[in-house]
Structures are given as structure tokens and as C-alpha cells.
């Protein structure tokens, strides 16, 4: 079954607001195995709403029209959909009574206009609005079922969750079966990663698609048209093949998994604490760790050592070492990591020093970054990241943090076993 | 002229991400008097991209196809658009050389697949990508002009701003003249701000629209259909009225202005240095400062004092003070700010301590945050931010940083005069 979502609103067409409703509804539909392959946005003009509905009916059997159910004259969705379907509007008397009661409580006065919000489409079913005044509707005409939903995100979400989804589950038990799994990678160019994944999947009936975010590459594996019991082993087999090849860049599977979250989880499991001395990243590593709920178990505090003198003063990097090797050096990175670790009394210390740009530093171009990991009882490991191919301060800083998180993940993973959720 | 925007991406269709690009482009187009009355979203399926383009050409003369320009096999936008227009793909040799150079610098190896990103549509014009590898295209076939743009928001925005908009201005010299100015605000709910702005504008022929970002609210003032010489005084008058009312939340006007950038500029002008001790924000304030090119003039380094013992050890907050008042208190915030300032030897010290959530701390709910600013020769100022109405760790952390940057901006502005660019 093809599904289309039509979003209605002048403010969407003018780019004044971002359409979060459509993503929310599409995600909810996907969980019912309904994929909204077509999504359209139009303004509040009745002719354009009708035209969009007409086009949708040529290609979809389930159509949602979202927004434009307010009480004012520019809210034209319900009458436009009714006209488009050749149906009348019907007043829900009970709902109109309820609206009048609510408006009286709010002392809002003049409720006459709000009667529009008590109408739904003849022959259809009203959808209750647990968070607002406007009634929704679900109506089947010929081969098409059309749902009408309100625009304000709080009302939209409440009606989708509490009125629409339960009704859809009744009406459309299992369309096409889709089983999917989300894998997470970092530190690898997307094109290379996907080439290699496609190659290792070979003729397994598993489709891989990728999505790049600033701090990771998400790869979704999908098996179509098989029951869960048959799909799960295929996804397992695909995951095993991929991890065998791309293990160095892989950090887990599942929705909601983040690299920082995985590192915090592994540190907590190993009962290890961590700290940092950050130069070019300016606190981004520590801030990323603290973004994980429960980070306080593994992180007490750390340092931003932006200037050379802060490296000496806060984490005891000898001024002579900096004079000899420069601030942009493996030696300085190692001394920062060790100094931070010893000053805080943490098990692990990490350090970042380098050139975020745009200007060079010590004759080194933007993207030259040295990082280090120090651990009690071991010599500090320091290495150079060459990020000259990345553009922009923020990207170089973000990449530096991601690479060190990945190195920590791999180091901890070797010691403490699997952190997959 | 009718305009349509087609967004391409499996992750959009599946509701995995929110489409911020389409709002950004629609807003930019509106400033050129081009209203995107039709907006469509499809997945990466070539047949559906072609079908969407075909439908668009029946109703629009300017069509944008956004997303799906990555290097992998599921990125099908450029060939699909070429097929839909009956045109061939053409290799931009110079751009292919540039991609190879960049990939070599990234030590990514095997760049063969990336050659896809150097193709554009025959007879069209390549659009440079200032922030990534994929080339865009702008091509006119018959009565339709089609623009092809990349999906990642950073690349999308850079190509729209730097390549597309200048070219559209050349090709479609506005039917009517539009003059606009961008004002920046923080720390005020959007609906309240816009209600008040609409009220103070009264019957001035100036239209205000808002765009919410995580760290600010941008308000664009627009004057239609008047030559610059007539429009500028109207924009000046509108700005004066708005700043008189909303001065406490206003931090400057102009494209590319950021709150952190304004604070760094004012600090540098006053020859003042700054440091911080951050608890719940975990380094986000310092990292935001370091995101400004030239931050090293005003910031040498600072502290992340997440645990109570780090507050004592790193910036000398007396353990007894914490025991008496709690870590979530004005007293602790003030002592952190003063301690950080004195330890580093900076002119100003700021501090953040509070509850990011989800769990309460010391019986205080998520969103209870104390911040402080200490300056040499003055008692530290500490105050409570009530962010209980905001949901989520990241939002509470971001709001805390923004509120302190705004307080710094106002304090420095009073002393050093206008920082407007």
C-alpha cells in the first residue's frame, strides 16, 4: 500500500517553520510497516489543498492531510478535503458542546468561530484530539483512506499517538513486512565504507543504506517481505560480515546508540575514570561526554588548555618541552594527557592539540592535530590525525573528538568485551 | 513564477530526520520574491525522483531537487534529474581533480566512486560546493529551470548562500525590490518576542519573520517594493523601535553574526580575558568561545569541574561551602567563577552549576541552574536560571550557555559601546 502525507500551511511554504510533524508521522507509520513514499507541502489555499489531494489519490491508497484545522478563516483543510472527496461536513454536536465548555473555562469569549473545529467528514470517523480543540477525521472513499490531522505539534503528536495509530492498527494489520537494524560507524569516508559493505553483503537479501551525521555514519540494514524469524538470522549474518571487515570503524547497533554513550558505558563497566586536556577542541570532548546521562560515574572534571601557558600552568607540561617540540606535536599531546590524568587522579587522560584554522600555527596547516591517550602504568600513546581534507574549524574540532572517542572505544572494547546494545 | 522544492532521501521518507533544508531554502527564496508553493519529498528511488520532477514541471517553472548527491550507489539524484530532463551527465574535470586531491589528503584511498560527485547536467551550470565534495547544478530546459543541491545541511546551506542565491539574483532580477535586515535575539520565547515585535512595528510597512535556531532567534525585517534609499530608513526605524522594546534580548544585526562572536569581539575591544568553570555544561561554554576564530586573544584556558571534588581541587571552592549550600547554589557558582578567574589570572571568570537532568540533584529538578560572572575588583554576580520549561539535557545545557553569553554581551556592551556589525 502506498502512503502519502500532505502538510498544509503558509508558514511551511514560506520557510518560517521546520516541519517536524511529517518526520514524526512517517516514523510512526514505518513502525506499522507503512512507508510514506510521497510527502507534499502546500499552503492554506483551498485549490492547492484539493489539487494535492487529487494527485495523492492517483498514487496512494492512504493519505494524510496535516494542518489547517484552526478556528480562523485561513484554516481551510477540512472543507477542502471534504470537497475533494465529494463529501459533506458533519457537525459533531458533543464535541461542539465540549469546545464551548473549554472556551468558557479559558474565559476566551466569542467562541462562534470555533464551531469549525467540531466538523468532520460525512461517512468518516472523528479522531479525538487529546491536546486541543480541533477534531480530526479518518474517512474511506473508494480505494483511498484519508486522515485529517491538526498542525500544532503538541496536538498533532497526541492525536497520532492516541487516536490515529490505534485505529490504523485495527484497519491495516501487517502490510508489507520490513525488518531493519541500525549499525553505527565513525572515522571512515562514507563512500569507501558503503563500497565495502555492499561487497561483503554479496547476494544476501539485505539492503544497506547510509546516513551521514556530523559525528557518525549510520547504516541501516533492511530485509523485506520476510517474517521476523526469517529476517533476524539474515540481519545477524550481514552484521557479522560487516563487522569482520569494518570492525575498526564500528561502534555498535541499535536505535539511540551514540559513540560517547558507548565509551561511557564501557568505562563504567571497567570501573575506569577519564579526564582531558583540550586545546583546539576547547572543551568539545568533555562536553560530548557530559552529554551522556550518567557521565558523572566516569568523569569528575578536566581542563581546557588553549594557550601554551595554560598547558604549563594547569596540567604541568614543561615550558621547555613546548619550546623544543612546539605545541602542535606528539610530545606536547602526550604530556598534556599524562598531566591531566595525574592532576585529576583519573585512570585515563586524553589530550588534543593542533590547528583548527583558518590560519596555520607553528607553520602547520589547518587540520594538523595531535591527540594522546595516557593510562596509569603505561606509556602515553600519541598520534597525528591528518584532517587537512576537512573544511572548517567546527568540522576539524568535531572530527578530532570523534577519532579519539573511537580509539577509546576500541581500546576499552578489547579489554572489557562487547558493548553492543 | 511558480516554484517547487523536491527533497530526496530515504531517511526523510522514513521519518528518521527532520527536513531543515526545505525551510531554509524556502526562506531564502522568499527573500527573492520566489514562493515555493509546492514542496515534495521522495525517497532515493530513481523512478520516484523522475516522477516527482515530471509532476513539478507541470506546475512550476523553477524546481529544486535537494539531496542524494553522495558518492554511493543509492545517491541517484543527479542521474535521475538528467534522465528526467533528457540530458546527459558531464564530468567537470577540474572538480574531479579537486576531489582527488582532497581525498588523497584525507588518506581515504580508492576514490573511484567519488567521481559521481563531479558530474553535472549537460548544458547546465555547475554550482560550487564551498563545504563538501558534491557539485550542484542549475539547468534550464524548455520553460523549466532545475537546480540540484546536496543533502547534508552544512553543504546545502553553503551552496545555497554562496552559489545558488547569487546566480538566482542574476537570472531572476526580482519582479519587485526586497530590502531586508537580519536581527539576532536570545533568551526570549519566540511567540512572545514576535507578538511584541508585531505590536511595536504598528503600521510601519516592514514585515518581520522569525527563524528559531538552537542558540538564537533570528528575525528578518523586510521592506517590499521600495528602492534601497527609501527602504533603509524604514528598516532603521523598525530596528530602533524593536531594540527599544527588546534590548535585553538583542545582540546585533547582520548576516553571520553570532552571540559568541559578538562577545569575543567586545572582550578583544576592551582588552579583557575570560575563563570558566563548568559543571553541567561540561565545557560547552568554552568550546563555543573557541568556535570563534580569534578566540585565543581573549581566552587562554579553563576548567570543567563536573564533580564536587573537582570544584574544590581545580578552582578552590571550599568543601565546607559546598557542604553548606550544595553544589546547585548561587554561592557555589560565585566561588567557581572567582576561583577559575584567580587560578588562570583572567579578568573575567564565569561558572555554571546545576541540574541537566533527567534525574533531580540535591532535591532540585532538572533545569535548575546557577550561573555566575566574577570580575577583578568586583563582587561576583550569581543568579538562578529557571529552565524547568525546557526538556532534555542538551537543550538545558545550550540554554545555560546562551543566557551567560547574553549577560556577558550586555555587561560588555554597556562598558564598551556598540558591537553591531
Can you give B268-321 as a three-state secondary structure string? HHCCCCEEEEECCCCCHHHHHHHCCCCHHHCECEEEEECCHHHHHHHHCCCHHH
Domain assignment present for residue B276? The answer is: yes
Please tell me whether residue A383 adopts helix, strand or coil conformation. strand
**Residue B14 pLDDT:** 85
**Residue B137 pLDDT:** 94
Confidence of residue A176 (pLDDT cuts 50, 70, 90): low
Please tell me whether residue A53 adopts helix, strand or coil conformation. helix
- The minimal CB distance from A27 to the residues B14, B36, B209 is found for B14
> B91: which 3 cell numbers?
564530468
Interface with A, mutate which of B290, B299, B308, B314 (most A CBs under 10 A):
B290
Domain assignment present for residue A351? The answer is: yes
Domain assignment present for residue A213? The answer is: yes
CA distance B35 to chain A (A): 7
**Residue A405 pLDDT:** 98
Confidence of residue A419 (pLDDT cuts 50, 70, 90): very low
What is the β-pairing status of strands B144-149 and B178-185? Answer: unpaired
Looking at A200, A218, A253, which one is the last position of a domain?
A253
Judge if A210 and A237 occupy the same domain: yes
Judge if B157 and B185 occupy the same domain: no
For A:190-219, CB contacts with B below 8 A are: 190-192, 194-195, 198, 209-212, 214
- In angstroms, the CA A154 to CA A21 distance is 9
- In angstroms, the CA B196 to CA A210 distance is 44
Judge if B314 and B192 occupy the same domain: no
Q: Cell numbers 468561530 label which residue?
A: A113
Going A261 to A267 to A268 to A274, the CA torsion angle's sign is negative
Domain assignment present for residue A408? The answer is: yes
A109 vs A407: which has the higher pLDDT: A407
**Residue A190 pLDDT:** 80
Judge if B109 and B196 occupy the same domain: no
Cβ neighbours of residue B312 closer than 8 Å, sequence gap 6 or more: B318, B319, B322
Q: Tell me if chain B has a CB within 8 Å of the CB of A307.
A: yes
- The minimal CB distance from B14 to the residues A26, A198, A210 is found for A26
Mind listing the pLDDT tens digit for each residue in A149-167?
998 887 898 899 999 999 9
Please give the helix or strand (H or E) that residue A335 lies within, else none. helix A330-344
pTM over 0.90: no
Confidence of residue A421 (pLDDT cuts 50, 70, 90): very low
A13/B27 touch (CB, cutoff 8 Å), yes or no: no
- In angstroms, the CA A293 to CA A290 distance is 7
Looking at B221, B253, B285, which one is the last position of a domain?
B253
B302/A300 touch (CB, cutoff 8 Å), yes or no: no
Instruction: Give yes or no for a contact between B400 and B370, defined as CB atoms under 8 angstroms apart.
Output: no
Judge if B182 and B294 occupy the same domain: no
Domain assignment present for residue B338? The answer is: yes
Looking at A171, A187, A209, which one is the last position of a domain?
A171
Q: Tell me if chain A has a CB within 8 Å of the CB of B64.
A: no
Judge if A67 and A194 occupy the same domain: no
Judge if A12 and A100 occupy the same domain: yes
> B304: which 3 cell numbers?
570543567
Which chain B positions have a beta carbon within 8 Å of A39's beta carbon?
A: 7, 12-13, 40-42
- In angstroms, the CA B227 to CA B177 distance is 7
Q: What's the length of chain A?
A: 421
- The minimal CB distance from A304 to the residues B25, B210, B302 is found for B302
- The minimal CB distance from B301 to the residues A189, A310, A391 is found for A310
Please tell me whether residue A119 adopts helix, strand or coil conformation. strand
Per-residue pLDDT for A113 more than 50? Answer: yes
CA distance B419 to chain A (A): 23
Q: Which domain holds residue B209?
A: 178-253
Low-confidence spans in chain B with pLDDT less than 70:
107-111, 174-177, 191, 212, 389, 391, 416-421
- In angstroms, the CA A98 to CA A294 distance is 45
- In angstroms, the CA B204 to CA B188 distance is 23
Judge if A219 and A113 occupy the same domain: no
Judge if A51 and A145 occupy the same domain: yes
Judge if A274 and A319 occupy the same domain: yes
Q: What is the CATH number of the domain that holds A239?
A: 3.30.70.2860
Cis peptide before B400 (omega within 30 of 0): no
- In angstroms, the CA A97 to CA B140 distance is 56
Please give the helix or strand (H or E) that residue B24 lies within, else none. helix B20-30
Interface with A, mutate which of B293, B301, B305, B345 (most A CBs under 10 A):
B301
Cα separations in angstroms, B355 against A115, A291, B73, B169, B393: 44, 12, 46, 49, 9
Residue of B nearest to A28 (CA): B15
Count other C-beta atoms under 10 Å from residue B170's C-beta. Answer: 8
Q: What is the CATH number of the domain that holds B327?
A: 3.90.950.20
Cβ-based burial of A172 (10 A; exposed 0-12, middle 13-18, buried ≥19): middle
Mind listing the pLDDT tens digit for each residue in A255-303?
889 999 999 999 999 999 999 999 999 999 999 999 998 999 999 999 9
Q: Tell me if chain B has a CB within 8 Å of the CB of A306.
A: yes
Q: What is the DSSP string of B53-112?
A: HHHHHHH-SEEEEES--SSSTT--HHHHHHHHHT--EEE-HHHHHHHHHHHHHTT---GG
Q: What is the DSSP string of B352-412?
A: EEE--SSS-BTTBPTTEEEEEEEETTSPPEEEEEE-TTS-SHHHHHHHHHHHHHHHHHHHH
Query: Domains in chain A: how many in total?
Result: 3
| Maximal C-alpha separation, chain B | 78
- In angstroms, the CA A390 to CA A394 distance is 10
Which chain A positions have a beta carbon within 8 Å of B282's beta carbon?
A: 283, 286-287, 289-291, 295
Q: What is the DSSP string of A397-417?
A: HHHHHHHHHHHHHHHHHHHH-
Judge if A276 and A294 occupy the same domain: yes
Q: Tell me if chain A has a CB within 8 Å of the CB of B396.
A: no
Alpha helices for B86-227 (secondary structure H): 93-105, 153-159, 165-171, 190-201
- Residue B5's closest CA among A267, A142, A19, A300? A19
What is the β-pairing status of strands B62-66 and A301-305? Answer: unpaired
Per-residue pLDDT for A168 more than 50? Answer: yes
Q: What is the CATH number of the domain that holds B102?
A: 3.40.980.10
B301/A302 touch (CB, cutoff 8 Å), yes or no: no
Alpha helices for A75-227 (secondary structure H): 77-85, 93-105, 153-159, 165-171, 190-201
Cα separations in angstroms, B266 against B269, B372, B399: 5, 19, 21
Domain assignment present for residue A421? The answer is: no
Residue of B nearest to A285 (CA): B283
Domain assignment present for residue B421? The answer is: no
CA distance A246 to chain B (A): 14
- In angstroms, the CA A298 to CA A348 distance is 10
**Residue B256 pLDDT:** 83
Cβ neighbours of residue A359 closer than 8 Å, sequence gap 6 or more: A366
Cβ-based burial of A320 (10 A; exposed 0-12, middle 13-18, buried ≥19): exposed
Q: Tell me if chain A has a CB within 8 Å of the CB of B140.
A: no
- In angstroms, the CA B279 to CA A308 distance is 24
A35/B14 touch (CB, cutoff 8 Å), yes or no: yes
A190/B72 touch (CB, cutoff 8 Å), yes or no: yes
Please tell me whether residue A384 adopts helix, strand or coil conformation. strand
**Residue A26 pLDDT:** 92
Cα separations in angstroms, A258 against A205, A263, A270, B77: 27, 9, 18, 29
Q: Tell me if chain A has a CB within 8 Å of the CB of B383.
A: no
Q: Tell me if chain A has a CB within 8 Å of the CB of B128.
A: no
Confidence of residue A75 (pLDDT cuts 50, 70, 90): confident
Judge if B91 and B206 occupy the same domain: no
Which chain A positions have a beta carbon within 8 Å of B71's beta carbon?
A: 190-191
Q: Cell numbers 502506498 label which residue?
A: A2
- In angstroms, the CA A116 to CA B379 distance is 59
- In angstroms, the CA A385 to CA A330 distance is 10
Domain assignment present for residue A64? The answer is: yes
Amino acid at each position: 500500500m502506498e502512503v502519502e502525507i500532505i502538510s498544509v500551511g503558509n508558514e511551511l511554504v514560506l520557510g518560517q517553520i521546520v516541519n517536524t510533524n511529517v518526520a514524526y508521522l512517517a516514523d510512526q507509520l514505518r513502525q506499522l510497516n507503512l512507508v510514506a513514499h510521497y510527502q507534499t507541502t502546500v499552503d492554506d489555499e483551498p485549490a492547492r489543498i484539493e489539487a494535492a489531494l487529487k494527485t495523492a489519490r492517483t498514487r496512494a491508497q492512504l493519505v494524510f492531510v496535516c494542518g489547517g484545522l484552526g478556528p480562523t478563516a485561513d484554516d481551510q483543510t477540512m472543507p477542502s478535503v471534504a470537497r475533494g472527496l465529494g463529501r459533506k461536513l458533519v457537525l459533531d454536536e458533543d464535541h461542539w458542546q465540549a469546545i464551548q465548555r473549554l472556551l468558557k473555562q479559558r474565559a476566551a469569549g466569542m467562541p462562534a468561530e470555533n464551531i469549525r473545529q467540531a466538523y468532520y467528514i460525512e461517512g468518516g470517523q472523528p479522531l479525538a484530539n487529546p491536546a486541543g480543540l480541533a477534531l480530526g477525521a479518518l474517512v474511506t472513499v473508494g480505494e483511498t483512506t484519508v486522515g485529517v490531522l491538526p498542525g500544532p505539534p503538541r496536538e498533532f503528536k497526541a492525536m497520532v499517538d492516541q487516536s490515529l495509530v490505534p485505529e490504523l492498527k485495527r484497519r491495516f494489520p501487517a502490510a508489507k513486512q520490513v525488518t531493519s537494524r541500525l549499525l553505527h560507524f565513525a572515522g571512515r569516508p562514507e563512500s569507501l565504507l558503503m563500497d565495502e559493505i555492499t561487497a561483503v553483503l554479496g547476494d544476501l537479501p539485505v539492503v544497506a543504506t547510509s546516513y551521514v551525521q556530523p559525528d557518525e555514519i549510520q547504516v541501516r540494514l533492511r530485509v523485506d517481505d520476510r517474517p521476523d524469524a526469517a529476517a533476524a538470522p539474515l540481519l545477524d549474518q550481514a552484521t557479522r560480515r560487516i563487522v569482520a571487515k569494518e570492525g575498526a570503524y564500528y561502534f555498535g547497533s541499535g536505535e539511540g546508540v551514540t559513540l560517547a554513550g558507548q565509551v561511557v558505558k564501557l568505562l563504567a563497566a571497567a570501573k575506569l575514570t577519564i579526564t582531558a586536556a583540550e586545546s583546539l577542541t576547547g572543551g568539545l570532548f568533555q562536553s560530548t561526554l557530559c552529554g551522556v546521562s550518567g557521565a558523572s560515574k566516569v568523569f569528575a572534571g578536566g581542563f581546557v588548555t588553549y594557550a601554551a601557558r595554560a598547558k604549563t600552568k594547569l596540567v604541568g607540561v614543561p615550558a621547555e618541552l613546548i619550546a623544543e617540540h612546539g605545541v602542535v606535536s606528539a610530545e606536547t599531546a602526550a604530556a598534556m594527557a599524562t598531566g591531566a590524568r595525574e592532576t585529576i587522579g583519573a585512570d585515563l587522560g586524553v589530550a588534543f592539540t593542533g590547528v583548527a584554522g583558518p590560519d596555520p600555527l607553528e607553520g602547520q596547516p589547518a587540520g594538523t592535530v595531535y591527540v594522546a591517550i595516557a593510562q596509569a602504568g603505561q606509556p602515553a600513546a600519541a598520534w597525528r590525525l591528518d584532517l587537512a581534507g576537512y573544511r572548517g574549524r567546527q568540522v576539524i574540532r568535531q572530527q578530532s573528538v570523534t577519532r579519539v572517542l573511537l580509539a577509546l572505544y576500541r581500546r576499552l572494547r578489547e579489554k572489557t568485551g562487547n558493548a553492543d546494545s
